[in-house]
Amino acid sequence: MRLYCLLLVLLLLSSRPLRAEWSLLLDVTMTNGQPYVSLMSVARGFNAGLEVVPDARAVKLAYGNREASLTDGTVLTLNRQLVILSTAPYWRGEEMFVPLDAVQKIFGVNVRWRLRTQQVVFSPAESRPDALLPR
């Protein structure tokens, strides 16, 4: 019986979104005084679905119940709603770089950048307790 209860508790805990901080070591690029990260690297870190539309120079993402699409303008579409970014993303070769607020808005998380370690730290947004972080 104890083993059954322990297995049930472990199953319940593993099915809930992660509530602790989570960090990625990312190449942070400063452009016009703003920290930018590769959207492709962040999507890989979050195990998000990502599709690049080369002709439109656009990116489409799917993460949990969130769908986003963006180009190199200051507006992204998030779940069919327009969202304004602080600055526009840009392309370097085949990779799109986005400001950290774009990551925050797309994935519904708080984002902090640790300058000394070059780590980007994610935590559930307080106003969005349903924010999904990678497991």
Residue 51 to residues 24, 40, 87, Cα–Cα distance (Å)? 21, 10, 22
The string of pLDDT tens digits covering residues 48-72 is 999 999 888 999 999 999 999 999 8
Check: CB of residue 4 under 8 Å from CB of residue 12.
Answer: no
Residue 11 lies in a domain: no
Q: What pLDDT digit, counting tens, does each position of 98-130 carry?
A: 999 999 999 988 888 777 877 778 887 754 444
Give the full edge-to-edge strand order of the sheet including 119-124. Answer: 22-25, 119-124, 109-114
Contacts of 84 (CB under 8 A, 6+ apart): 74, 75
Q: Which helix (H) or strand (E) holds 111?
A: strand 109-114
| CATH number of the domain bearing residue 55 | 3.30.457.10
Q: Is there a domain that residue 114 lies in?
A: yes
Domain count, the chain: 1
Question: Which of 74, 102, 99 is closest to 88 using CA atoms?
Answer: 74
What DSSP designation does 18 have?
P
Q: Is 27 part of any domain? A: yes
Q: Whole-model pTM?
A: 0.74
Residue 35 inside a domain? The answer is yes
Residue 5 lies in a domain: no
pLDDT, tens digit (0-9, with 9 covering 90-100), for 68-85: 999 989 999 999 999 999
**Which amino acid belongs to residue 1?**
M
CB–CB of 35/104 below 8 Å?
no
Q: Which domain holds residue 22?
A: 17-124
